[in-house]
Amino acid sequence: MEAQGHEEPAGRAKITKGYNLPARHVIHTVGPVVGQQVTERQKEELASCYRSCLKLAEKSGLKSIAFCCISTGEFHFPGKLAARIAVDVTDRYLSGSAIQRVIFDVFKEEDLHIYQKLFQ
């Protein structure tokens, strides 16, 4: 952000090389920061994060993408709602997409259980 001279707004995506990571590319997005309760705008911004990443991955010729739990850590988006948005947006997008594989990568055991329930 310093090199480009401005912060990125929530919901957009950019792609860079993977450099020393075990991935050819990294897609970056900024999720919404939640205060007392989640607003409709924040729900749409989170949905836009997933859509923007998927569109950019496809535009870049990628066949797979892995997502972390966007906005659920320091940004305080509730995990269950965030996972529902992630899965719903991804499911809708994939119906007409060339992307073949999506991974939802979780850090906490709680998030693992949330996604397992959604996929049952």
- Flag whether 23 is in a domain: yes
With left for phi above 0 and alpha for psi between -120 and 50, is residue 75 left, alpha or beta?
alpha
Q: Do you know the residue count of the chain?
A: 120
- Flag whether 1 is in a domain: no
Domain count, the chain: 1
Domain that holds residue 70: 13-118
pTM: 0.92
Give 35-90 pLDDT, tens digit per residue: 989 999 999 999 999 999 999 999 999 999 999 999 998 999 999 999 999 999 99
- Flag whether 5 is in a domain: no
Q: What pLDDT sits at residue 8? A: 82
- Flag whether 47 is in a domain: yes
In the numeric block, the tokens 């959604």 are attached to: 118
Q: What pLDDT sits at residue 96? A: 87
Give 36-46 pLDDT, tens digit per residue: 899 999 999 99
Mean pLDDT of the chain: 94
- Flag whether 8 is in a domain: no
Cα–Cα separations (whole angstroms), residue 34 to 45, 71, 78, 116, 119: 11, 8, 9, 24, 26
- Flag whether 22 is in a domain: yes
In the numeric block, the tokens 């990568």 are attached to: 105
- Flag whether 102 is in a domain: yes
Looking up residue 50, the CATH number of its domain turns out to be 3.40.220.10
- Flag whether 39 is in a domain: yes
Q: What pLDDT sits at residue 107? A: 92
Give 95-110 pLDDT, tens digit per residue: 989 999 999 999 999 9
